[in-house]
Chain A
Amino acid sequence: MYCLGIESTAHTFACSVVELTNGRGKILSDIRSIYKPPEGAGIHPREASRHHAEQSSAVLSDTLIAAKINLGDIDAIAYSAGPGLGPCLRIGAVVGRCLAAYHKKPLVSVNHAIGHLELGMFLTGAKDPLVLLVSGGHSMILALSNGKWRVFGETLDITIGQLLDQFGRAVGFASPCGARIEELSMQSNNYLHLPYTVKGNDVSYSGLLTAAKRFVSSNKLQDVCFSLQETAFAMVAEVVERALALCNKKELLIVGGVAANKRLANMLNNVCKRQKTKFLVPPINYAGDCGAQIAWTGILQFRAGIKSNIEEAFVRPSWRLDTVDITWKN
């Protein structure tokens, strides 16, 4: 079967076609268009949704051409229903509903965060992992048990992506700022004292953000970036290690946009060695938001008989992933 996935939760509008033959999945195409806010500014939901609306038909047709497939041959259409920015989500949902209605195809609502987890497991072959989901929208440690993804640790306030982006924007970078901060931090080795806040299995980043912003005026930017990364990532690494010790999983899978950061991967790799755990990272081009995560999860859900009526295919901007019943796994 073939599934078309549509992703539009935040800055990325993306489509992808994934094929399933004999129980094996294959990504046939994956095309994205990313909204870029001006330097020093964050995602403006209205501007981002305008970008998505303008780019949607080009992205969709490029996706179908790259997959060498016609819409008529698609078996199911999956769209990202949340969590995310309402105006952005609505564009993807409108595209999904229109295509499903016009071509009389089944429609599947996919939770964007579950999409990250499922695609990560698909690409790495993870079987029963502890998952670290780190992105602009999430900083969570999860494991599947009794039909739901259970949270073993998370941020109590802002996410690690928000920490990096908001700090970056304060010093005039363009969002997303992670790559730029990583680049600058590699030019320093001078650790400045920043607040390190681990609360049991959870972290809190708001104090760190405030402190790092204050440091900018009186310190070298490279030093602040270096110290920010060292502190923030060490906090995540510690809670991951705590969660690993708590739930005895033999695999750690990292997914989400921040998974692209090399320093973080390096720290987690070290944690996994200490805890004798396999460390799994999906290919870097699938770390961030993409259509494939929606298409692949769409296939899994469709196979398990989970579909949405077009009249009820809404968006859910605050759809927490630990509320989703995972009925498509044994």
Chain B
Amino acid sequence: MMLIKKGAEADIYLVMWYGKKAVMKIRKPKNYRNKILDEEIRKKRTLHEAAMLSNAKKVGVQTPLLYFVDLQNTEIIMQYLEGKLVRDTLSRNLHICKKIGIYAAKLHKNNIVHGDLTTSNFIINNGNLILIDFGLAYYSDRTEDKAVDIRLIKEIMRSVHATIFTKAFNNFIKGYESIIDSSMTSKIMKKVTEIERRGRYARVV
């Protein structure tokens, strides 16, 4: 068992699963969080993640295969996919934003909200785009919830990828529009603006 990444939410280990390389994601207790709250959050997210990994696949979004869930230990074992994070390669690979937009739209069209759409949750594996980390995902048909998803990727593009923000986000929208018709897209984008305006001192943005 080898630790690959100590993430914010969980620790990621490389393990062998019936002779295959696999990823084990463990949500370890966070001792800064109240125990009751901590346990509830970890269990809920493990369950959501396991279910949504498969549900997303059904709507045409590539995700790792789910192998095993242990709710008691809040751990998931899933397919190991070699590749690079979109976060680290975006500047050389701007067109991938269109694909990200397509993925977001496919989820939203089927009322799945990812909840954590950041460029570090997309992996490029042999030219295929893989979406991971469904711990905050849930079902919703509300425009608001879908718009919050888009607002996050916008925020990430504006901060982590500041120099290429405009191009990156435009590409994202292009991809999004190709799946969800443009009248619905503009409705959701209006909501994104509305949410941004709700923020503190946001009139000038």
The answer to whether B136 and A200 touch across the interface, beta carbons within 8 angstroms, is yes
Q: Are the CB atoms of A200 and B117 closer together than 8 Å?
A: yes
Tell which of B36, B160, B195, B205 touches A246, judged by Cβ atoms closer than 8 Å: B160
Chain A 140-171 interface mask (CB, 8 Å, partner B; 1/0): 10010110101111111101000000000000
Check: A198 CB closer than 8 A to any chain B CB.
yes
B8 touches which one: A155, A241, A267, A323 (CB < 8 A)?
A241
Q: Are B159 and A143 in contact (CB under 8 A)?
A: yes
Number of A-B contacts (CB under 8 A): 119
B204 within 8 A of A: yes
Neighbour of A242 across the interface among B9, B37, B160, CB < 8 A: B9
The answer to whether A237 touches B115 (Cβ under 8 A) is no
Docked CA distance A234–B39 (Å): 13
Asked if B19 is an interface residue, CB under 8 A from chain A, the answer is: no
Contact B115 A200 (CB under 8 A): yes
CB-CB under 8 A for A319 and B201, given A199-B136, A230-B34: yes
- Of B151, B155, B158, B195, chain A has the most CB atoms within 10 Å of the CB of B155
Q: Determine whether B6 belongs to the interface, using a CB cutoff of 8 Å to chain A.
A: yes
Q: Which of A199, A234, A266 contacts B37 (CB 8 A)?
A: A234
Q: Which of B36, B118, B162, B200 contacts A148 (CB 8 A)?
A: B162
Q: Interface size bucket, A side?
A: 35 or more
A156-206 contacts to B, CB under 8 A, are: 156-157, 159, 191, 193, 196, 198-202
Which listed residue, B117, B160, B204, touches A319 by the CB 8 Å rule?
B204
The residue of chain A having its C-beta at the shortest distance from the C-beta of B162 within the complex is A146
**A270 contacts B by Cβ under 8 Å:** yes
A271 CB contact (under 8 Å) in B32, B118, B151, B204: B32
Interchain CB contact under 8 A, B136 and A150: no
A234:B34 contact, CB within 8 angstroms: yes
Annotate B186-204 by CB proximity to A: 1 below 8 A, 0 otherwise.
0000000001001111111
- Dominant secondary structure of chain A at its interface with chain B: mixed
The answer, among B30, B33, B118, for a CB contact under 8 Å with A201, is: B118
Interface residues of B in 132-166 (CB under 8 A from A): 136, 148-149, 151-152, 155-156, 158-160, 162-163
Interface range for B: 35 or more
Q: Are B32 and A152 in contact (CB under 8 A)?
A: no
Beyond A199-B136, A200-B117, whether A156 also contacts B203 by CB under 8 A is no
**Chain B residues within an 8 Å CB radius of A150:** 158-160, 162
| Most A C-beta atoms less than 10 A away, residue of B36, B160, B201 | B201
Instruction: Name the CB-closest residue of B to A266.
Output: B32
Q: Is the CB of A201 within 8 A of B6?
A: no
Residue B31 CB within 8 A of the other chain: yes
- B202 pairs with A320, CB closer than 8 A: yes
Whole-angstrom distance between the alpha carbons of A230 and B158 in the complex? 31
Mask of A22-45 contacts with B, CB within 8 angstroms, 1/0:
000000000000000000000000
Asked whether A5 is an interface residue with its Cβ less than 8 Å from the other chain, the reply is: no
Give 1 or 0 for each of A214-231: 1 = CB within 8 Å of chain B CB: 000000000000000011
Instruction: Report the bound CA distance from A242 to B8 in whole Å.
Output: 5
Q: Write the chain A residue with the least CB distance to B119.
A: A246
Instruction: List residues of chain A with CB within 8 A of the CB of B152.
Output: 199-202
A137-B162 in contact (CB<8A): no
In residues 1-38 of chain B, which contact A (Cβ within 8 Å)?
Answer: 6-9, 30-38
- 5 further contact pairs, Cβ within 8 A, besides A155-B200, A202-B151: A199-B115, A199-B136, A202-B152, A245-B120, A267-B33
Q: List 17 A-B contacts (CB under 8 A).
A: A137-B201, A140-B200, A146-B163, A148-B162, A156-B198, A156-B199, A157-B198, A157-B199, A159-B200, A191-B34, A196-B41, A230-B33, A231-B37, A234-B34, A245-B6, A319-B201, A323-B204
